[in-house]
Structure 1
Amino acid sequence: MVSKRLVMTCFILIMLISSLFSFQPELTLDPIEAKSIAKEAYIFAYPMLEHYRTMYLQLLSWGKLNEFTHIKQLYGPKNTMIVRPNNDTVYSMIWIDITVEPIVIFIPAIPDRYFAFQLVDMYTHNLDYIGARTTGPGPTTFMVAGPKWEGEIPSGIDKVVFSEGNFVYCVVRTGVNSELEGDLQKVLEIQQQYKSQTLSDYCGNPVMEETSSVDLPPFRSKCCRLDWFYRILQLSSRAA
């Protein structure tokens, strides 16, 4: 038996998600249909909520928006931050906030070594890969832009990656040959050459406005109000 409370919750959930994407679905009072629609809405929203949880906890622990965090050792079985991590690469991460303006990433020349910059949006879609396999070992400058950016691409930008939302997770893997003495130290030096800056700074026109003006609401794993749920989806989606 489907309760009235479930039907009402499903109704509110449907309205919240539909408002994010500017469409009005036909409403139903049939509890079975409402439950089915709510299930679809849950499946749709779950990746965004989990990705937001990852972003919030990582930033709370060790990082800031638009700044690289570098792991300085190879991962082992006790490291659980990355799901099934490589043990022949070291990791760097940066949570990119493009709410205000695009972010420019610089990669130095890295010959004879594997490296990859994986770009993931809040839907957990892989937007692109920048690295030895896809763009080559030469120095690369790429830009990550949001859905509302319509400016001109400045000179010196080799590639532009567009995102439907305003947050992008960039996971960097840089190969280490453990059989070569001192190779890890060489990779740590490469990590320090990975740079991020706003488009304004890149063009030599720094602005007073902060790169990120977003107040990230705390992630609540056990209990959440619908207004919190709506805010998380709004931040994670193209509507933010």
Structure 2
Amino acid sequence: MKSMHLKLATAALVATLVSTNAQAQSPQVPIPKSAAQISGPVSGTLMTNDYVQMVGRTAYFWGYPLVATSSRRDAFAKAPERIYLGGVVPMAPVGDLTMLHDYISAEQSFIVCPNQDVVYGGGFAALDKEPMVFQVPDFGKRFWVYPIYDNRTDEIGRIGKQYGTKPGFYMIVGPNWKGRIPAGISAIVRSSTDLAFAIPRIQLDDTAEDKKAIQAPLSKVMFYALSQFNGKMKTTDWSKTPSVPVPAGPPNTYKGSACQEDETVASRGRGGSRVDH
């Protein structure tokens, strides 16, 4: 009897494992590419107020990052060159990036809860136009990270000291890019959307010596269009970045977002200035 029970238990366990394995290997539901491919509620579903409110909240939370990042990209697009908005926020035309050269100001009210031990940068890419190249200099023992995000604010690459990223040139490409990787590019980061943005963070000790020492590698932290890539490390002196005052507007127009149309910035003339291996 015990032998019979053991055999039945064993058979049940095998059946369960086979069933589980079959489910794990079932094909993934394809991501819809149009609204028409998204199925609606089951016919006869009762649309209560609570249900409709829940769907509305879910849609808002899902869509908010898309709207917010697009809004910020539009604000950056108005920058005529690499600038510090209000002397604080690094901004650059789309397809470029601006770095600070010191800690972000403690008096600023643009960025919520910034880190207090890094030098920040920021820039947007329009990957539907062309890929974006970024440089990784040799930071030595210094901590650094280049968080790169897509339109949904999902981080799309593992670029930084903690990931073992080597010095060199890297490239961000859009979801439909099928070109050849140019010689000299170490790897590519593929974005799931044509809009992507980066917010580099480079560790800085609060000493006069380190504030001087960081300037050399910091000058090589640059993002630019693939058409400008020539295989050589470009440099810029970020301390010479011009500051542009925040234009007058309603209270808190720029606090926390810097998304409002920037007529002061736009009025300036343009100056010259997942990882796939």
Query: TM class by shorter-chain length?
Result: 0.5 to 0.7
Find the partner of 1:133 among 162, 169, 194: 162
Of structures 1 and 2, the larger Rg is shown by: 2
Structure 1 pair 156–82 and aligned structure 2 pair: CA distance change class (3 A): same
Contact in 1 for aligned 2:75/2:260 (Cα 8 Å): no
SS in 1 for 2:111: coil
- 2:123 aligned residue: 94
Q: Identity, % of aligned pairs?
A: 21
Alignment of 1:1-240 (within 5 A): 23-26=37-40, 30=47, 32=49, 33-60=51-78, 61=85, 62-136=91-165, 138-179=166-207, 181-202=208-229
Q: 1:112-155, CA deviations, whole angstroms, 9 ceiling, x for partnerless residues?
A: 2111111011111111231222134x422111010111122233
TM-score by structure 2 length? 0.59
Count of aligned positions? 188
Structure 1 pair 176–24 and aligned structure 2 pair: CA distance change class (3 A): closer
Inter-partner Cα distance in structure 1 for 2:108 and 2:260: 23
Contact in 1 for aligned 2:76/2:94 (Cα 8 Å): no
Quote the RMSD (CA, aligned, Å).
2.9
Contact in 2 for aligned 1:76/1:87 (Cα 8 Å): no
Q: 1:46-72, CA deviations, whole angstroms, 9 ceiling, x for partnerless residues?
A: 122222333334554542112121212
- 1:211 aligned residue: none
Inter-partner Cα distance in structure 1 for 2:162 and 2:222: 20
Of the structure 1 ranges 101-110 and 127-136, higher mean CA displacement relative to structure 2 is found in: 127-136
Inter-partner Cα distance in structure 1 for 2:57 and 2:211: 47
Structure 1 pair 220–112 and aligned structure 2 pair: CA distance change class (3 A): closer
Contact in 2 for aligned 1:96/1:168 (Cα 8 Å): yes
Structure 1 pair 21–131 and aligned structure 2 pair: CA distance change class (3 A): farther
Structure 2: tracts of 5 or more residues without a match: 1-31, 79-84, 86-90, 232-258, 262-277
